[in-house]
Each structure stands twice: as C-alpha cells, then as structure tokens.
Amino acid sequence: MRIDRLYRISAFGEFLNITPTAENMLFLLEEFKEYGLVPSLFQEMKVENIALSPAPLQRIAMVSTDHNNSYNERIAIGSNRIDFEYSITTDRELSNEDKEKINKKACHIFGVIFKKYDKKSSRLALNTESLLAGLSDVEVLDFMSRYTNPISLYDSKSLGEWGTRLMVREKNNISDKEEFFNIITVIGKIILSKQSNGNVTHNNGFNVNIDINTIAENSSVRFISSDIDDFIKTSTKWWNIIISEVSGNDK
C-alpha cells in the first residue's frame, strides 16, 4: 500500500524584498482567497547572516484554513525560495486528478507572485514523500533485495536499518531551452505506527523521498512563470515512473 504524504514545488531566486507588509499581505489574501489560503508568518534563519544578525527574518506564508479536508496547503515565501506545499493528511495515494489540480494551482500561484513582484527563478524543484505500508515480513525482505547488493554479513538477515540513495542526471527542454536535471530517490526502512481502537501497532515499512531539480551549477536567473508549467510536466512524468515502479503499481 502506497501512502502519499507530501508534494512540494519550489522556485529558487531572490525574493528578499517580498516582505510581510500590510500591502503585500492584503494583495496575497485577495489573490488566493479562492483557494482558502490566508496570510501568516514564519521565521527564517539565514545561516550566512547568523554572525552579523542572529535574529530570524519574518517571512510571508499563506496557509489553508479548512482543516476538515484530507489535505493542507501552504505557500512559503522565503528570502531565496518560494514553496507551494500540498500535505496529505489521510492514508491515500494522489490520483491523477489530484496531481492535475495541484500542478494547475502551483502554476497559477507562481505566476501571480512572479508577475506582481517582477521575479524570475534560477532553479526549480519537485520534492515528494511517500510511505510503503502494510507489507508482510516476506514483502519487506523482497523489497530490500531489489535495491541491495548483498554483503555476506547482511545477506538473508533481518536488518534493523536499511536505506539506499539513487541519483541520475537527465537532459530535457524547458520552454525549448536545454536544461539538466538531478533525479534523486532516497528509500529508507522505517517503523510505521498506527493507532486503532486505543491500540497501537508497529510494522516495518519504507519511506520514499523523491527530489527532481534543475542543477545548481547553472545559477543564471532564467525561469519565468510560464517555464514552471513545463518543469512540472517534465518532473511529474519522471515522478510517476519512479513511484509506480517502487510501489509495484507498474506491474
């Protein structure tokens, strides 16, 4: 059973001047009220400024207000990155319809912010977190064997800890411009706890984190809001392949 937990789209750039003024908060409230998002604040600690100014920066966030839904949404406008985060609060997979809605909303949100504040981005990223749960002991061992080069000491034994990290670099166009992408998958064995009728059960499972991003080596500020749609289409295609194969849904 696959449980999707997090789906986050990020744009990196220079956003320090989007400060939590009354004017900015009102603008964002009006623009995103149809999504049920309201202005909030979060504290950002910039590592490079700790020696000079240890006080955290006050930054703008927009958060969902309807906590009865099966998900929460959040926009965070940091000094050098903007995140649109979709967190799933029930045990389910994201459907194709879910992803289409999220991606459409993300494109609109970044488009509004980039246009209002005349911004571009130097790097784009998609980060996700999923769980593989409800596996038998045999399925756990079988899953680990698919990604493990056996060492005699560890082979055919119950492993207390296990993980793997895979990374490949791929080339693809964004708005007819050639870009290089890092495609990273990190899988780790975890203990999943679940409460039911006052009882807590513990079972082995796996955490799957996928990070798809344009490479940091190209730091030119080049991505406009329309490029984000192309990035999302490309990265979502790769994400679908990875998560389907990892969770066995490709069979």
pLDDT (0 to 100) of residue 250: 65
Q: Which residue has the tokens 């990196």?
A: 12
pLDDT (0 to 100) of residue 156: 66
Q: Which of 174, 158, 188 is nearest to 234 (CA)?
A: 174
Residue 40: C-alpha distances to residues 21, 58, 239, 249 (Å): 11, 10, 31, 39
pLDDT (0 to 100) of residue 55: 78
pLDDT (0 to 100) of residue 65: 84
Question: pLDDT tens, position by position, for the chain (251 residues)?
Answer: 999 999 999 999 999 999 999 999 999 999 999 999 999 999 998 766 555 556 789 999 999 987 678 899 999 999 999 999 999 999 999 999 999 999 999 999 999 999 999 999 999 999 999 999 989 888 988 898 888 876 777 776 677 789 999 999 999 999 999 999 999 999 999 988 877 777 778 888 999 999 999 999 999 999 999 999 999 999 999 999 999 999 987 65
| 3-class secondary structure, 230 | helix
pLDDT (0 to 100) of residue 228: 95
pLDDT (0 to 100) of residue 51: 56
User: Do 153 and 188 touch, CB atoms closer than 8 A?
Assistant: no
